[in-house]
Structure 1
Amino acid sequence: MITRQLGQQGPHVSAIGLGCMGMSDFYTTGIDPREAIATLHRAVELGVTLFDTADMYGPYTNETLLGQALRGKREGIYLASKFGLVRSEDPHARGVNGHPDYVRQSVDGSLERLDTDYLDLYYQHRIDPQVPVEETVGAMAELVKAGKVRHIGLSEASAETIQRAHAVHPLAAVQSEYSLWSREPEHNGVLETCRRLGIAFVAYSPLGRGFLTGELKAPEDFAADDYRRFNPRFEADNFYRNLALVERVKALAAQKDISASQLALAWVLAQGSNVIPIPGTKQRKYLESNVAAIGVSLNTDELNHLDEIFGAQGAVAGARYDAQVMTLLDG
């Protein structure tokens, strides 16, 4: 396993982390706590050190799962959790809360569920437009002073917000969706800002919520409550338009004798030494395949070919979230 650094002063973590959300929530098909725990243990064996969760996954149950699975394995493990994205009784509704009192309350709950004295990395999950980011980050900085948090970060923040937050307390990481079919960080200044300020960029959903694996065949295959049924890119017409793009990825992967997943992850890894993808999985076999992407290199022609497939404006059909969730994205 190779490593990459979380910020200028942070630890070196595995260049591929593990997104743990799907072990407890959203992608309901095949959720099995026993296999999830076995997958977490296997990740440790393979040298994965960065584990990503949030209080709203479940809600709360994903942090509890990690706390149980990683008990006694804390040394050398870097736990990242998040606060500020709030769920309600409506499974499709979301709110945000960046008030300092909420920050202090949230971290204590996460520490208890994760069965740990500190978090290595604590993100504001979504920016609260009603609370200046300076106030939220100021409260997060207090957690660092108190020893409850080692490093802080933001998720889905604009370039301007990142700069304002970083001026209050250094950010170790910024997390945003980034993959072959979600290229917004390249165009909105976030990737460039992170490079300039020495901030790690953590790419969530680097496999496009499973779409870039090439294993999804039809939108009807999802369980009735699977989150992707309500995602615009997975709606029938968009699904099949996007599937044509993935078929081209599969063809290039076949030429290299690797999987489409490994090709997609290798592309993310190639976008900069500060970029750390955190593909999610709840099964050991997919984890092992994802980690093997560390050994895949892409030449200039291959990178250009992938850009030709996905880089053109309008190439990908559908927004990456529904309209309500899109309103929660900063900037």
Structure 2
Amino acid sequence: MQYNKLGKSAIEVSSIGLGCMSLKGSKHKQGVEIIRKAFDSGINFFDTADLYEKGFNEMLVGEAVQDFRKRIVLSTKVGNSWRADGNGWDWKASKSYIVKTVESSLSRLKTDYIDLYQLHGGTIEDPIDEIIEAFDLLVSAGKIRTYGLSSIRSNVIREYVAKSNISAVMMQYSLLDRRLEEEMGAYLLHHRISVLARGAVAKGMLINKQAENFLQYSSSEVQHIIRNLHAFAKKHHVNNLTVALSFVLSNEAVTAALLGINTPLQLTELIQIKEQVRSLTGAEKIELLSGVRALYFTEHR
């Protein structure tokens, strides 16, 4: 397993991380076992959020990592607050809310610090300066080691890059979502800010799910990309997951790809292929992208 620096911080994360949102409280024991087995396989990066299952996902992760807490990178997110009736959530981004809410996450995670604390969204209308003050205050207090942003909004990302010490931006990136390549990947790489890629298998369509319209691609375009992927995988004697991850991690701006694993079988498959994941050559990328048009961000530019 390869380990990479998270932005300009001293933190090192495995190139493949576990997105824990898919682990459900209804299968608590199984989720705990998946996290522990992932750690045993070399994965040291685990991501959750206070929003997931109304905090129960953080509790599951916190229980699972107790025996090796100091040896992993634990990431969670803040900014969304469940309504009292449990019917949806509201965006709450303020200094007071972040400073108060981190305590709840620390308690649920059974830890006294969070390695990476991320703003779970964000708009250009937010009080960005005071949000940054909150994160910097938490770093100074030792509550968090570093902070970042989970967003695909280019205008919001630029504001935080210009004004803060963020180490990472989590955003979608896959063969079916290459908007990162337009300019944001190069921009973040230039500023030594890590891209944490989610959605590497595009809702499972790059693995085994039926093709459908996706972002600006029609279902026929999605099918074309999947055919390219199938042909490439067959030619190189690997499976689709290996190729999908290799593509994502071949982008120099990407520090880690986060996969949502929710069954022991999925984890076993990942463990079996993770050492086959490699950087693709320029020619191989051209082969994979033959006949594929580029995508661009259409909003929040």
Give your verdict on TM over 0.5: yes
Q: Which moved more, 1:300-309 or 1:4-13?
A: 300-309
Displacement, 1:309? 4.9
Displacement, 1:261? 1.1
Structure 2 partner of 1:205: 199
Q: 1:272 to 1:114 in 2, by over 3 A?
A: same
Aligned 8 A contact 1:81 1:123 in 2: yes
- Please give the residue correspondences for 1:285-304 in structure 2 after superposition, counting only pairs within 5 Å: 285-291=265-271, 292-297=273-278, 298-304=280-286
**1:192 is the counterpart of 2:202:** no
Aligned 8 A contact 1:245 1:310 in 2: yes
Q: Secondary structure at 2:251's aligned position in 1?
A: coil
Long gaps (5+) in structure 2: none
| Matched residue type, 2:187 | T
Work out the CA distance in 2 between the residues paired with 1:193 and 1:301: 24
CA shift digits 1:174-213 (9 cap, x unpaired): 11111111112222x3212211111111001111122211
Q: Equivalent of 2:37, from 34, 37, 42?
A: 42
Q: Equivalent of 1:155, from 132, 144, 150?
A: 150
Q: Secondary structure at 1:233's aligned position in 2?
A: coil
**1:21 is the counterpart of 2:10:** no
Q: Secondary structure at 1:79's aligned position in 2?
A: strand
**1:264 is the counterpart of 2:244:** yes
Work out the CA distance in 2 between the residues paired with 1:305 and 1:96: 42
Structure 2 partner of 1:229: none
Aligned 8 A contact 2:6 2:255 in 1: no
Displacement, 1:132? 2.6
Displacement, 1:303? 0.7
Q: Secondary structure at 1:102's aligned position in 2?
A: helix
Query: Percent of counterpart pairs with the same letter?
Result: 27
Displacement, 1:218? 7.6
Displacement, 1:155? 1.1
Aligned 8 A contact 2:106 2:112 in 1: yes
Displacement, 1:249? 1.1
Normalised TM-score (structure 2)? 0.88
CA shift digits 1:121-160 (9 cap, x unpaired): 0000111444232211111110101111000001115444
Structure 2 partner of 1:6: 6
**1:280 is the counterpart of 2:273:** no
Displacement, 1:302? 1.8
Aligned 8 A contact 1:85 1:125 in 2: yes
Work out the CA distance in 1 between the residues paired with 2:86 and 2:148: 28
- Please give the residue correspondences for 1:136-175 in structure 2 after superposition, counting only pairs within 5 Å: 136-175=131-170
Work out the CA distance in 2 between the residues paired with 1:245 and 1:32: 34
Structure 2 partner of 1:227: none
Structure 2 partner of 1:228: none
Compute the RMSD of aligned alpha carbons. 2.7
Normalised TM-score (structure 1)? 0.81
Q: Equivalent of 1:308, from 279, 290, 300?
A: 290
Aligned 8 A contact 1:42 1:284 in 2: no
Q: Equivalent of 1:216, from 209, 215, 220?
A: 209
| Matched residue type, 1:64 | M
- Please give the residue correspondences for 1:215-234 in structure 2 after superposition, counting only pairs within 5 Å: 215-217=208-210, 233=214
Q: 1:313 to 1:14 in 2, by over 3 A?
A: closer
Tell me the number of residue pairs that the alignment of Structure 1 and Structure 2 aligns.
297
Q: Secondary structure at 2:126's aligned position in 1?
A: coil
| Matched residue type, 2:284 | E
Work out the CA distance in 1 between the residues paired with 2:197 and 2:292: 17
Displacement, 1:248? 2.9
Structure 1 partner of 2:113: 118
Work out the CA distance in 1 between the residues paired with 2:201 and 2:140: 36
Q: Which moved more, 1:277-286 or 1:261-270?
A: 277-286
Displacement, 1:86? 3.9
Aligned 8 A contact 1:269 1:276 in 2: yes
- Please give the residue correspondences for 1:64-83 in structure 2 after superposition, counting only pairs within 5 Å: 64-83=59-78
| Matched residue type, 2:116 | L
Work out the CA distance in 2 between the residues paired with 1:77 and 1:309: 41
**1:56 is the counterpart of 2:51:** yes
Q: Secondary structure at 2:58's aligned position in 1?
A: helix
Q: 1:138 to 1:277 in 2, by over 3 A?
A: same
Structure 2 partner of 1:180: 175
Aligned 8 A contact 2:176 2:225 in 1: no
Q: 1:330 to 1:40 in 2, by over 3 A?
A: farther
Work out the CA distance in 2 between the residues paired with 1:309 and 1:80: 37
Q: 1:273 to 1:175 in 2, by over 3 A?
A: closer
Work out the CA distance in 2 between the residues paired with 1:310 and 1:117: 47
